Amino acid sequence: MAKLAVVDIGTNSIHMVLADIESDGSYKILDSFKDMTRLGDGTFQQKRLSEAAMARGLDVLGNLTTLARNKGFSKIVMTATSAVREAKNGGQFIEAVAQQTRVRVRVVTGQEEARLIYLGIRHSMELLETPSLMVDIGGGSVEIIAGTRERLIGAQSLKLGAIRLKDQFLAKAPPSKSKLREFYKTIDHDLREALDQLKLEAVDRIIASSGMAANLAEIVYLQRTGRQIPQINMSTISLKEIRLIEDRLAASNLVKRMEIPGLDPRRVDTLLPATAVLRIVLELTGQKEVTISDKAIREGLIYDFIEKNKEKILIEQEVLNVRLRNVISLARRCQYPKTHSHHVARLATSLFDQTRPLHQLGDQEREWLEYASLLHDVGYVINPRQHHKHGYYLITNSDLAGFTAEEIEMIANLTRYHRGANPGPRHVAYQALGVSDRKKVRALSAILRIADGLDRSHFSIIQDLEVRVGKTVKIILSVSGDSELEVWTAQNRADLFEKLYKRKVQFVITAVA
């Protein structure tokens, strides 16, 4: 296992993540730190980093590297982006950082920054075969990236960062109408040129990363629901919602902007340019909503490190699907019983497919069932006693990238109810689900309970099964040995299924030839 600290010196913020990299090429973020240093304030006008900004940056970087080393992270990767690479005294700053931290700063180009962002996003959500357009809005630059699940198609680095635009056009709040027109004209012109250069015939979806996109999502979700957003990654906001926030920001002074619920006070002067960039990207591509990613350059740096330092990444070779790969990665970290879990998943999905006339659920629910089957015993890593409850905790508190908060909750609930008590009114997490989702949890956990019972011995004695749905649901089992324990367990766990569909379940044994 390797310990890696990644430090991203951005124009707006300095971030550090601490990651454990497993031998199979997976990684786990152990901790993260952020300081909104505003290194780029005034940099793009003066072409220099101010003495105050450099002092702030050196102080933060000294503290972060000391913290990392104290935690046992001797390998530190440090990168800097547009503010440092464009400043005439950027070299002086890099030398000062190296002297204070004993770490060599890698100043990345706009194209390299885009590649790293693509890596971070690609590994955090399921991209498709058709191109997605990724937009990372930093303080100094905006990276426009086209890519599929297989490859990076192209990228453009634009000088449209939020701090840069704020310094150039938005010195006053609210800005004058003439400055606002100039501001919008510049963004529109540069984005049109960038999209023309990418030459995309069609775009599957727009994905936005960066802290500013995340804060915009927080504001929208609060206005939409009155509640805090449960998870940034995979959340979506509409063009209409973005326009409403942008209009309010453009018409308000800083004091009025502070009254917007959810707005990060440290972004009060930079959220308008970020919002305008995102809105114009959507309009130019004809898209009506954007998906938010909370993974970008830092996670890209981790994957870049893995790819450059390991000959083979076993888990990536074994599993191409991002969601399945992250499920298996979590299962492996929890030392799951591999043969048993995969066999239960096969039995559960077979039962699901053959009982569709009863539950009438679709492919999405089938996928949740498969993933819950793979994870159903992860709670053993904490304690065999009540491992189903421990499994719920592990799944909801892990960074299961590629899934929405709602999907994680569904998979965790299925794991919670694969044994023990049936879902009921006293269970807080279950009751927090919507009516439709509670119904799905009952239907899917009823199937998982039977499938898990059919491999009670963990020896895969039940080789296959056939379901005949009638007044009685007859499950014909192809067995390779003594299966009394499996049948007895499955029969005892069929109660929820029988209650839901008001039919008895009967098991019939046939020996494998």
226: alpha, beta or left, given left = phi > 0 and alpha = psi -120 to 50?
left
One domain, residues 60 and 9: yes
Q: State how far the alpha carbon of 219 is from the alpha carbons of 241, 273, 406, in Å.
A: 10, 16, 19
Whether residue 329 is contained in a domain is answered as: no
Neighbour-count burial of 482, counting CB atoms closer than 10 A to its CB (0-12 exposed, 13-18 middle, 19+ buried): exposed
Instruction: Name the β-bridge partners of 2.
Output: 21
One domain, residues 283 and 393: no
Whether residue 326 is contained in a domain is answered as: no
One domain, residues 377 and 506: yes
One domain, residues 455 and 343: yes
DSSP secondary structure string for all residues of 250-266? HT--HHHHTTSTT--GG
Structural element, H or E, at residue 34: strand 27-35
DSSP secondary structure string for all residues of 489-507? HHHHT-HHHHHHHT-EEEE
Distance separating alpha carbons of residues 357 and 375, to the nearest angstrom? 26
One domain, residues 88 and 202: no
Closest of 442, 409, 408 to residue 423, by C-alpha: 442
One domain, residues 194 and 342: no
Cβ-contact 14, 35 below 8 angstroms: yes
One domain, residues 280 and 303: no
Query: What CATH number does the domain containing 284 carry?
Result: 3.30.420.150
Task: For the chain, 513 residues long, give each residue's pLDDT as a single digit of tens.
Answer: 578 999 999 999 999 999 988 767 778 899 999 999 999 888 888 899 999 999 999 999 999 999 999 999 988 999 999 999 999 999 999 999 999 999 999 999 989 999 999 999 998 898 988 999 999 999 999 999 999 999 999 999 999 999 999 999 999 999 999 999 999 999 999 999 999 999 998 898 999 998 999 999 999 999 999 999 999 999 999 999 999 999 999 999 999 999 999 999 999 999 999 999 999 999 999 999 999 999 889 999 998 988 877 644 455 556 668 899 889 989 988 999 999 999 999 999 999 999 999 999 999 999 999 999 999 999 999 998 899 999 999 999 987 889 999 999 999 999 999 998 888 888 999 999 999 999 999 999 999 999 999 999 999 999 999 999 999 999 999 999 889 999 999 999 999 999 999 999 999 999 876
Whether residue 314 is contained in a domain is answered as: no
pLDDT, residue 43, reads 87
Distance separating alpha carbons of residues 350 and 469, to the nearest angstrom? 14
pLDDT, residue 312, reads 40
Cβ-contact 472, 465 below 8 angstroms: no
For the chain, the domain total comes to: 3
Collapsed DSSP state (helix, strand, coil) of residue 7: strand
Beta sheet of 472-479, edge-to-edge order: 462-469, 472-479, 504-511
Beta sheet of 105-107, edge-to-edge order: 27-35, 14-21, 2-9, 75-80, 105-107
* pLDDT tens digit sequence for 16-74: 999 988 767 778 899 999 999 999 888 888 899 999 999 999 999 999 999 999 999 98
Q: State how far the alpha carbon of 310 is from the alpha carbons of 119, 299, 316, in Å.
A: 16, 17, 12
Residue at which a domain ends, from 294, 319, 348: 294
- Domain residue limits at 259: 125-294
Query: What CATH number does the domain containing 89 carry?
Result: 3.30.420.40
| Sequence-ordered list of residues with C-beta below 8 angstroms from that of 156, at least 6 positions apart, any chain | 114, 143, 144, 194, 197, 198
Cβ-contact 448, 414 below 8 angstroms: yes
pLDDT, residue 317, reads 53
Query: What CATH number does the domain containing 351 carry?
Result: 1.10.3210.10
Whether residue 82 is contained in a domain is answered as: yes
pLDDT, residue 512, reads 75
Quickly tell me which residue has 């909503």 as its tokens: 289
Distance separating alpha carbons of residues 50 and 442, to the nearest angstrom? 60
pLDDT, residue 210, reads 87
First-residue to last-residue Cα distance in the chain: 46
One domain, residues 271 and 305: no
pTM across the whole model: 0.79
Q: Which amino acid does the sequence have at 260?
A: I
pLDDT, residue 240, reads 97
Q: State how far the alpha carbon of 158 is from the alpha carbons of 192, 194, 461, 510, in Å.
A: 11, 8, 60, 66
Quickly tell me which residue has 């083979």 as its tokens: 312
Whether residue 189 is contained in a domain is answered as: yes
Distance separating alpha carbons of residues 82 and 62, to the nearest angstrom? 21
Whether residue 328 is contained in a domain is answered as: no
One domain, residues 289 and 366: no
One domain, residues 385 and 263: no
One domain, residues 196 and 70: no
pLDDT, residue 320, reads 65
One domain, residues 410 and 361: yes
Closest of 282, 119, 291 to residue 207, by C-alpha: 291
Whether residue 177 is contained in a domain is answered as: yes
Core vs surface per residue 127-156: b (16+ CB within 10 A) or e = beeebbbbbbbbbbbbbbbbbeeeebbbbb
pLDDT, residue 311, reads 46
Q: Cis omega (within 30 of 0) on the bond before 423?
A: no
| Sequence-ordered list of residues with C-beta below 8 angstroms from that of 464, at least 6 positions apart, any chain | 350, 477, 478
Whether residue 114 is contained in a domain is answered as: no
Distance separating alpha carbons of residues 361 and 369, to the nearest angstrom? 11
Q: How many CA atoms lie within 13 A of 342 on its CB side?
A: 5
